[in-house]
Structure formats: C-alpha cells, structure tokens
Amino acid sequence: MSESVRGVVVSHAAVAEALVRAVAVIAGQSDALVAVSNEGCDTAALVARIGAAVGSEPAVLFIDLPGGSCLTSALRLAHDRPDLAVVTGVNLAMLLEFVFHRDLPPIEAARRAAEAGGRAIEARGT
C-alpha cells in the first residue's frame, strides 16, 4: 500500500485526545492520528464525527471499550467500508506500533497494533 493509513481514536470524554497527544510527543508524529470524543452527542452524531475524521481514505478505528456507543458507531460506519478496520481496547502501545506501520493495509495495520497492545498488558504483584 503506497498511502499512509489514518488512525482515528474514538473514546469517551477526552481519553482519545490524551492518547493522540502522547503518541505525538513520544513518536514525533502529529499527523498519524485523529481524536474523536463521544461527549455531548448521540449515536448518529458520533457516526458523523467519526466519518468526518476518517474522510474517504483507508483508516483504522481505535475504540476505547469493546462495547457501548463508541464501538457501535464505529461498526456502523465500517459496515459498508472494506477500507476500514476496527480495534477495541485502545492503549498507548498499540497506537505507537500503528504510527510506525501505517503503510500496511488497514486490516494488517489493525492486527499488528492489536497484537502489540495485547503484549503490553500484564499484571505484576509484589
């Protein structure tokens, strides 16, 4: 794939904005991700917000929770768009992986990011 895939982070409140800012600081890339919040809107308005962030280009939608309005809206938009992939449980590790592999097709970029995000999760005790 010759064009870079866009990442859209969709969350409750300002979580997406904070993650996007953190990735920009760590990776030095500010054009790879767009933040979308569900704050103050219904499902139809959220679908419209996500659609505006995605535009007509291929994208990976990173969703905060594996249920709820953010996921429902993302899936509604992605239903008729084979150039969109959806990943739930967004974390900083997966977004960092994504920004450095945006040249992959959306589903491959999504799988790679999800794997990196999963590897970053562990529990430790003393």
Domains of the chain: 6-59+66-119 (3.40.50.510)
Chain center to CA of 54 = 10
Residue 1 has pLDDT above 50, yes or no: no
pLDDT one-digit tens code per residue, 8-40: 999 999 999 999 999 999 999 899 999 999 999
Mean pLDDT score of the chain, rounded to an integer? Answer: 96
Cα 113 to Cα 11: distance, rounded to the nearest angstrom? 17
